[in-house]
Amino acid sequence: MVTKADIISQLTQMRAPTDKIVLMHSSLRAVGPIEGGAQALLDALVDYFTRDGGLFCVPTHTWHNLDKEITLNMSDSDNCLGAFSTVALEDGRGLRSESPTHSMVVFGDRAKAEKLIQDEPLVTTPTAPNSCYGKLDFILLVGVAQNRNTYLHCVDEMLSIPNRMEEKTMPLTIRRTNGEVVTRPTALFYTDYIEDISDRFIKYDTPFRYHRCITDGFIGNAPTQLCNARKMRDTIALIWNNSGGIDPLFSENPIPQKWYCTHDI
């Protein structure tokens, strides 16, 4: 049975930061039995990551509501990511961003959290560089791999990578806590050679490790990757600079070493 103290000890061993903006993608099942359940896990993570002024973020996506009248209802805990995201929404301490499809709950100093989410009404894509995703310092992958790393969609936009977004926007709706309904024009992810490009984000794992973007550890029983957002962005930029215009995710083949290695092979 994993305890809150165990989790904090594991994060300390990873040298996870306590003063940065960290987003966690997770599999609660992979963590294993926790004394106090998912709430105790949330408490441990919030206590640790906000200790020295950091912010801890939990994704609360609602893209499963694209065909519904309301895509995001700020007054309920509806999401498509499972039990831990639901616990984070129902906890009450965090602030939820107003992205109609890719919202997150932010824990920590309220003024800092408000600043992080303040630009959400201005963005027209789920993970725009001026959204919360473009302000992340680290991504914590707990029991999941890079195919769950939503931040990499943001990197695609930062680097203006082609063939990643719909050209047209669609009107998506948000119901705020005061009952007001607002419409947000949003362009969704799209790639013409695969249904979900994130399925191939796993190909970046080897280049990321070559450039030391990842620190490995555990949370409970779950293998955990602490990923440096800036280093991941720089690594993908290097790959594209060396690929001669070839999309590194076009096929299922590994990314050629010469595209990311910085020495002769």
pLDDT, tens only, 105-160: 999 999 999 999 999 999 999 999 999 999 999 999 999 999 999 999 999 999 99
> pLDDT, tens digit, for every residue of 181-234?
999 999 999 999 999 999 999 999 999 999 999 999 999 999 999 999 999 999
**Domain spans of the chain, in order of start:** 4-242
> pLDDT, tens digit, for every residue of 42-88?
999 999 999 999 999 999 999 999 999 999 999 999 999 999 999 99
> pLDDT, tens digit, for every residue of 27-46?
999 999 999 999 999 999 99
Specify whether the CB–CB gap between 28 and 82 falls below 8 A: yes
Specify whether the CB–CB gap between 172 and 184 falls below 8 A: yes
> pLDDT, tens digit, for every residue of 251-262?
999 999 999 997
Angle between helices 4-13 and 37-49 (to 10 degrees): 40
pLDDT value of residue 180: 97
